[in-house]
Structure 1
């Protein structure tokens, strides 16, 4: 009799009715949103901090480049010594003092600029001051050398290489960024899902094994049905938890933004002033338009279908190995010696995807690793946005399914013997013997 549906139902209900599962399902997104809110609030406080910077320009050449902003005020000092300027800034508790020493040569002036402050100044602030001074002093040096700045500016050209395939499909640099982002998110989700819920399957097997409940269950159920039931049941519980996280997280994020008035995006943009300046620069609207076009040009249907199949295939492949490890050991401490061979292909897949797919998505390395079943779920998902032929996707998926079936047979052999084995720490040699039983 096929007991698989009953085992799946039992595993699912056991997981979702567990108190710790319920508590963590509710608290995890709330804790995460709370952390993001705190970081955003602190970042917002930092971005809103009012700074007053005194400028002591002994050359009289660069005073006009310092314009007050929303959060930064510049105080131009004249007819005062450096010593008195330091005392003035310190007594007034200003943010700092920028001193431009007077020298005969512009090149010497650029080497004698100092910023005095009580504490270590902001890296963003110093970079902004350097950019302003570099541009102004460079223009002055060119003028001193008799160079016509207006002629230079009028002769400057922006080169934007248009990209188009032989079939007439237009692309751009933004397209590659968007494609990499979609592929990277898909690969990372699979990576985290395998780590989190694969370990949950392993712990579930160990718990039932140590409590001896498994001895009763195994008397009426085939080991392979029990193993698959655990994998599928735990997977469904994981999907349920993930969906709840997304819903609760979205509601909590909306509530925090609306009620508390905290800009959560500030947590991701500590250099808010630079970002705002970049968005206001010429070409920002064209960049946003290119980004939207790149998103619409993505093979959305292909991405969704491929994500579902490779996500399920990759997860089931690794889950069967986690279940086999759980059956082979008596406690989580003994699992460490078997975890590295499982984690290494996953880590390798992420590194190959990040460092190789972005450079050459159709190169030899990317293509080969997108066919290897233990790395293909991550690497292939990263390649698909760049346009992968359907036959390659089908072949990769077929290899993944075939390897999964072999892995289930392999894991079931270990599971069948190890699930009733107690008090003995297994080795790789011992596991190989179990395959012959």
Structure 2
């Protein structure tokens, strides 16, 4: 049995699986459905009004809490405090209690929010802003300073961003780039975990059913391991390609459907376009910047980093599958595999957005266990080709080295039964 036959066998076994077929065509619809559901739930939550009761014994702050779309305040100051608390507990989210004081400066530490539920920091921050603003005005008035003049003297700076070439730069462009890079990096991580586990489960299943004993009588363990890795990676790439095509079709259909809905009323559309000319121009600028991203480099790099990262991690998954007798036994070995992937996501997200070409981001984009994720996050910001080539070279060289070690574990562990291996025993197998 040659390597090509093993690859074909593994590929056919994956793509003809019913769950693979169902999830391949159902997943894009599920993602779209989830996005619509999240949007709907967000709109439902956005329409909810939070009712808050006020009990201001000092008579200083009650008028400063203004109703808005999200919050409605009701003044219960005319009621006794205990009655106001009971009513607030029954009909309101909480009660803002402002005690009577001799000096308004004391209110800095004496205002109290009473509720059975823990409020959000944003909500508490809003209350504190109202108190700070009111007390600041009182302090200025007591000092004989006209707050209106101070307020009129305030300015809001709006820095214009531009490139040395003279082209205008956009304010939120970095966030968009990190979002695109994060999506690519996260996809690689998820594919490695999902399909790496497929490789491991396939090895465990064949080992448990003793089919492996028949297979290795006509093929070398190394060829069997590589066949599983390559066949599964091809199935993963096929699934990703189908998802990309279906996703593009769904986006095209959605754009046309929404376009027809918007254009149903010509007068409203024209009016809206005139009112939002500035926003449309800004949106076009963002789309233009996104279009100018190095998409060819990003897509080719995604393919190569996916293959290299998957091969690297799948060889480890395959050796773990060969070393254990069940999926339960494999749990002790999976954490060291997942940790570098998670580290790559967090390091990439928290360092690339601040300094995509900094020392930390550059180093982790070269370390083979994290480079598929971190480098993909850096690519939208523009990375020299020599760095990409160096990172890929290190990744594939590491893969060949790991495969050599993994093959030793695979060769011995594939016929080991009835005993849970330890890290110490795995190191011993490397010496055989």
- Tell me, yes or no, whether TM beats 0.5: yes
Q: TM-score range by the shorter chain?
A: 0.7 to 0.9
Match of 1:295 among 290, 293, 316: 290
> Residue 319 in 1 paired to residue 314 in 2?
yes
- TM-aligned CA deviation for residue 229 of structure 1: 2.1
Query: For the residues of structure 2 that align with 1:393 and 1:414, how far apart are their CA atoms?
Result: 31
DSSP-derived class of the 1:388 partner: coil
Q: Which residue of 1 aligns with 2:17?
A: 18
Q: How does 1:26-41 map to 2 (within 5 A)?
A: none
- Alignment correspondent of 2:236: 238
What is the aligned counterpart of 2:344 among 349, 360, 385?
A: 349
**1:74 aligned partner:** 73
CA contact (8 A) 1:353 1:382 kept: yes
Tell me what 2:414 maps to: 419
CA distance in 2, matches of 1:366, 1:127: 34
Alignment partner, residue 404 of structure 2: 409
**Aligned partners of 2:404 and 2:87: how far apart in 1?**
79
Range with bigger deviation, 167-176 or 141-150 = 167-176
2:222 touches 2:407 (CA, 8 Å); kept in 1? yes
- Summarize the alignment of residues 244-393 of structure 1 with structure 2, pairs less than 5 Å apart: 247=246, 295-296=290-291, 298-393=293-388
Of residues 120-129 and 374-383 in structure 1, the stretch that sits farther from structure 2 once superposed is 120-129
Q: Equivalents in 2 of 1:144, 1:365: separation in Å?
A: 52
| Residues 74 and 35 (structure 1), Cα distance of their counterparts in 2 relative to 1, 3 Å cut | same
C-alpha displacement at 1:204, in angstroms? 0.3
Give, in angstroms, the shift of residue 250 of structure 1.
9.8
Q: In the aligned structure 2, how far is the partner of 1:295 from the partner of 1:426?
A: 50
CA distance in 2, matches of 1:325, 1:90: 57
Who is 1:8 aligned against?
A: 7
Q: Aligned Cα RMSD in Å?
A: 4.1
Aligned-pair CA distance for 1:205: 1.0
Paired with 1:332 and 1:78, the residues of 2 have a C-alpha distance of: 64
Cα gap change, 1:54/1:300 in structure 2, threshold over 3 Å: closer, same or farther? same
Give per-residue Cα distances to partners, 1:18-74, cap 9 Å, x unaligned.
Answer: 355556667777887888787777666554444443434455544443443345433
Q: What's the CA shift string for 1:134-188, capped at 9, x where partnerless?
A: 2233223222322232332343344455555656676566233223222222222
Q: Which moved more, 1:402-411 or 1:241-250?
A: 241-250
Question: Partners of 1:301 and 1:173 in 2: how far apart?
Answer: 25
Which residue pairs with 1:273 in the alignment? none
Residues 342-396 of structure 1: CA distance to partner in whole angstroms, max 9, x if unpaired?
A: 3343333334323433343323332222222222112212222222211111111
Is the Cα–Cα contact under 8 Å of residues 101 and 112 in structure 1 kept in the other structure? yes
User: Equivalent residue for 2:181?
Assistant: 183
> Contact between 2:170 and 2:286, CA under 8 Å: does it hold in 1?
no
Q: Distance in 2 between matches of 1:155 and 1:288?
A: 32
Q: Which moved more, 1:328-337 or 1:41-50?
A: 41-50
Moved more, 47-56 or 179-188: 47-56
* 8 A Cα contact 1:174 1:294, kept in partner: no
TM-score, length basis structure 2: 0.76
Q: CA deviation at 1:423?
A: 4.4
Task: Choose the corresponding residue for 2:212, options 211, 214, 217.
Answer: 214
Q: Is the CA contact 2:14–2:20 (under 8 Å) kept in the aligned structure 1? A: yes
What CA distance in whole angstroms lies between the structure 2 residues aligned with 1:374 and 1:84? 63
Query: Residues 252-307 of structure 1: CA distance to partner in whole angstroms, max 9, x if unpaired?
Result: xx99xx9xxxxxxxxxxxxxxxxxxxxxxxx9999878865653453333222222
Report the Cα distance in structure 2 between the residues aligned to 1:59 and 1:250, rounded to whole angstroms.
Answer: 63
1:400 to 395, 413, 416: 395
What runs of 5+ residues in structure 2 fail to find an aligned partner?
A: 258-277
Q: Distance in 1 between matches of 2:184 and 2:200?
A: 24
